[in-house]
Amino acid sequence: MAHHKGLSFRFTHAITRTPADSVAGGIRAVDTGDPSGAKFREEHELYVKALQEAGLTVEVLPALEAFPDSCFVEDPAFCLPEGAIQLRPGTDSREGEGREIRPALDKVFGKVVELPGNGHVDGGDVLMLDDVILIGLSARTDRDGAEAFAQVLGDWGYNAEICETPEGVLHFKTACSTLGDGVILATKVMADSGFFGERPLVVVPEGEDYAANVIRVNDVVLVPEGYPKTLAAIEAAGFKTVVVPTHEARKVDGGLSCLSLRFAPAA
C-alpha cells in the first residue's frame, strides 16, 4: 500500500444515525447508569454540527429502536475512497445493523462488499492510518474476521496488519487514535505496545484514558469534553481542537469515532 497522504483524516462526507430511546439498553462493559435518549440526541446534534463545521456533508439516518447500539454506525461498516465493506459486529444484539445501513452505503458507493466467511469485525477495532490499516483482535473482533477483512483490504491494494489488543481494552480504538500527519494519540498501554513503530506519539495523561478516542476531521481534532490534560497535550503537539460532549455515549462504551462513518468517495 502506497502512502496515501490524508487518507485517515481528509474527508468530505459522513454518515451518522440518531440515537434511539432504546439506547438505554445498549451494551456496556461497566454499568455507570443508563443514557438518556433525549440528552444523547442533544449531544449528537452538537457532534453532527462539529462534523459539518469541519467541512463534511453529513447524512443523519433515523433512529432504530429495534437496535439499541445502532447510533454507533462505525461498527457495521468500513469506508474507503473506492467503496465500503460491510462488517459483522461481534455481538448478537447488533446482528442486522449492517442490513439497515446498507442503503446509505449503496447511495454513496458503487462498490459495497460484505465481509467474507463467518468471522466478526467491529469497526471500532480498525485504525486507518495513511500507510497501513491496523485491525485489533478483541472480544468483538476475532481472528477469522480479521484475516478475512485483511484479505479484502489486500485485494483493494491496502496494507493491513492484525494486532493483539491489550487485555482490558474493549476496542482497539478505545485506546488510540490518529491525529493525522503520522502522529498517534494513545494510552500508555497502547503507546508501550510497539504497534506504531517509529511514529511520533502523544500519550494520554494518567486518569484520562477515555480521551484516547478522538477523531481528526480535515483541519481539526474533535476531543471529548471533560479531559483538559489530553486536550492540552493535543494542542501542544500542534493540532487545532474542537471539544464535543460525549457524556451519554460513554455510558454505553461509545466515543467520538463510533458515532460516524467518515469518508471521501473517489470522484
Which residue numbers are catalytic?
A: 171, 258
Count Cβ atoms within 10 A of the Cβ of residue 214 and give its class: 0-12 exposed, 13-18 middle, 19 or more buried.
buried
Contacts by residues 219-223 (CB-CB < 8 Å, ≥ 24 positions apart):
219/54, 219/55, 220/54, 221/179, 221/180, 222/47, 222/50, 222/51, 222/54, 222/256, 223/256
Contact between 61 and 16 (Cβ < 8 Å): yes
180's torsion region: left (phi>0), alpha (psi -120 to 50) or beta? left
**Type of residue found at 37:** G
What is the total residue count of the chain? 267
**Residues forming beta bridges with residue 86, ordered by sequence position:** 77, 114
Query: Within the chain, where are the H helices?
Result: 37-53, 97-108, 143-155, 188-191, 228-236, 247-250
Which parts of 146-237 are beta strand (E)?
A: 160-164, 176-180, 183-186, 201-203, 215-217, 220-224
**Type of residue found at 75:** D
For residue 241, give the C-alpha cell: 481542537
**Residues forming beta bridges with residue 217, ordered by sequence position:** 220
